[in-house]
Structure 1
Amino acid sequence: MEMIGTLLPLILMFAIFYFLLIRPQQKKQKAIREMHNALQRGDKIVTIGGLHGTIDSIDENIVVILVNDNRKLTFERSAIREVVNPD
């Protein structure tokens, strides 16, 4: 009986830690992964550095972004922070 009283707070702390920290982070990573997989030509995006542009071409890991004055920049797919297409 004493063992249950000793382990219960530890189990409770782990459960709280999981639901407040680990699970939300996993959901956020999943959403980012799904967004990266759904990227397509013509999407308006923002990179992690704050650069705004439009996807000109895309392959497995590389994204070519069209920016001001028809300049093309090449980025890793993981450098895309968000898609800002008007809905």
Structure 2
Amino acid sequence: MNNLLFVTLQQQANPLATFLPLVLIIVVFYFFMIRPQMKRQKELRKFQESLAKGDKVIIAGGIYGKVTEVKEEYVVVEIDENAKVKVIKSAVVRDPSDIQPQK
């Protein structure tokens, strides 16, 4: 008798209840992984668009430099005296003032 009751209860289960854990995992994944990454990308694009002459920057390869010229698609970065590099704006990844000095 108990087996018959168990089988009928299983058949009456709501199909949405089986998808609820999957939906919850997707929502949690979105809020903890995707949304913060999109926010960081938006801030980086805003930083790259606001580059101006004299700004100190770090290029994607880890090279520190100072912006000497800004064009629509690229910037010229002085990495040492008489050493200038032309890079696309997306290669400029951060502002060195964000880095905390180590003790």
In structure 1, the partner of 2:58 is 46
Task: For 2:22, give the aligned amino acid.
Answer: L
Which entry has the higher C-alpha Rg, 1 or 2?
2
Aligned residues: 86
Q: Aligned pair 1:9/2:54, yes or no?
A: no
Superposed CA RMSD: 1.6
Q: TM-score, normalised by structure 1?
A: 0.89
Whether the 8 Å contact between 1:43 and 1:55 is mirrored in structure 2 is yes
Whether the 8 Å contact between 1:43 and 1:85 is mirrored in structure 2 is no
Where does 1:14-33 land on structure 2 (aligned, <5 Å)? 14-33=26-45
Task: String of CA shifts for 1:25-59, please: whole Å, max 9, x gaps.
Answer: 11111111111011110001110101111100011
In structure 2, the partner of 1:56 is 68
Q: Aligned pair 1:78/2:90, yes or no?
A: yes
Q: TM-score, normalised by structure 2?
A: 0.76
Instruction: Provide the rounded CA distance (Å) in 1 between the counterparts of 2:97 and 2:34.
Output: 30
Structure 2 alignment gaps of length 5 or more: 1-12, 99-103
Instruction: Provide the rounded CA distance (Å) in 2 between the counterparts of 1:38 and 1:68.
Output: 23
Identity over the aligned pairs, expressed in percent?
35
Instruction: Provide the rounded CA distance (Å) in 2 between the counterparts of 1:13 and 1:56.
Output: 47
